[in-house]
Amino acid sequence: MTELTLIATILILFLSYNHTEAALQVGFYRDKCPSAETIIRNEVAKAFVDNRGIAPGLVRLHFHDCFVRYRVFLCQGCDGSILIDSTSTNQAEKDGPPNGITLRGLEVIDNAKAKLEATCKGTVSCADILAYAARDSIVITGGLYWDVPAGRRDGRISKAAETSDIPAPFLQLGEITQSFANKNLSQHDMVALLGAHTIGRSHCSSFADRLYNFSSTGRQDPSLNPPFAQLLKQQCPRNSQGGVSQTDVVFMNQSPFTMDPSYYGNLFQHNGLFTSDQTLLDSQETTRQIAFYATQGLAWQADFVQAMIKMSQIQVLTGTEGEIHANCRKIN
Ligand code: HEM
Residue 11 has pLDDT above 50, yes or no: no
**For 139-148, what is the mean pLDDT?**
98
Angstrom distance (rounded) from CA 120 to CA 35 = 9
The pLDDT score that the predictor gives to residue 20 is 45
Which atom of ligand 1 lies at the shortest distance from residue 179's CA? 1
Q: Report pLDDT for 14.
A: 44
Domain-wise residue ranges, the chain: 25-166, 173-309
**What is the pLDDT, as a whole number, of residue 73?**
59
- Residue 102 CA, closest ligand 1 atom number: 16
The domain defined by 173-309 carries CATH number 2.170.130.10: no
Per-residue model confidence as pLDDT tens digits over 189-203: 999 999 999 999 999
pLDDT above 60 (res 15)? no
Which atom of ligand 1 is found nearest the CA of 204? 15
Q: How far is CA 228 from CA 38, 93, 217, 312, in A?
A: 41, 33, 20, 33
- % of the chain exceeding 70 in pLDDT: 92
**Most confident of the following: 15-24, 155-164, 299-308:** 299-308
Nearest CA to 116 out of 188, 190, 54, 32 is that of: 32
pLDDT of residue 69: 77
Query: According to the model, what pLDDT value does residue 242 have?
Result: 86
What pLDDT, on a 0 to 100 scale, did the predictor assign at position 141? 98
Instruction: Report the pLDDT averaged over residues 266-292.
Output: 98
Cα(275) to ligand 1 centroid in Å equals 12
Does residue 270 surpass a pLDDT of 70?
yes
Which residues are catalytic, by number? 64
Asked whether residue 71 carries a pLDDT value surpassing 90, the answer given is: no
Quick one: CA dihedral 242, 244, 246, 247, positive or negative?
positive
What number is the average pLDDT over the span 31-51? 98
Please check the confidence at residue 75 and state whether its pLDDT lies above 80: no
CATH of domain 25-166: 1.10.520.10
311 CA to middle of ligand 1, Å? 14
Please say if the pLDDT value at position 184 is more than 50. yes
* 60, 65, 94, 191: residue to mutate for ligand 1 pocket, most atoms within 8 A of CB: 60
Residue 186 has pLDDT above 70, yes or no: yes
Spatial distance between the Cα atoms of 208 and 218, rounded to a whole number of angstroms: 11
Mean residue pLDDT across the chain: 93
Residue nearest (by alpha carbon) to ligand 1 atom 37? 200
CA of 97 to the centre of ligand 1 (A): 13
Which numbered atom of ligand 1 lies nearest the CA of 169? 5
Which residue has a Cα nearest atom 7 of ligand 1?
Answer: 169
Considering only CA atoms, which of 81, 80, 102, 104 is closest in space to residue 92? 81
CB burial class (10 A; 0-12, 13-18, 19+) of residue 239? exposed
Band the pLDDT of 3: cuts 50, 70, 90. low
Give the helix, strand, coil percentages of the chain, each rounded to 5.
Answer: 50, 5, 40
Q: Please determine, for residue 133, whether its predicted confidence score (pLDDT) is greater than 70.
A: yes
**Does the CB atom of residue 325 touch ligand 1 within 6 A?**
no
Q: Can you give the pLDDT at residue 10? A: 45
- Whether the Cβ atoms of residue 143 and residue 304 lie closer than 8 Å to each other: yes
Give the model confidence (pLDDT) of 292-311 as tens digits: 999 999 999 999 999 999 99
Q: Do domains 25-166 and 173-309 have the same CATH topology?
A: no
DSSP secondary structure letters along 240-258 = TTSSB-SS-EEESSSSTTS
DSSP structural state of residue 86: P
pLDDT per residue as tens digits for the range 205-236: 999 999 999 988 989 999 999 999 999 999 99
Of 146, 197, 236, 273, which is best to mutate to test ligand 1, by the most ligand atoms within 8 angstroms of its C-beta?
Answer: 197
Contact 58, 134 (CB under 8 A): yes
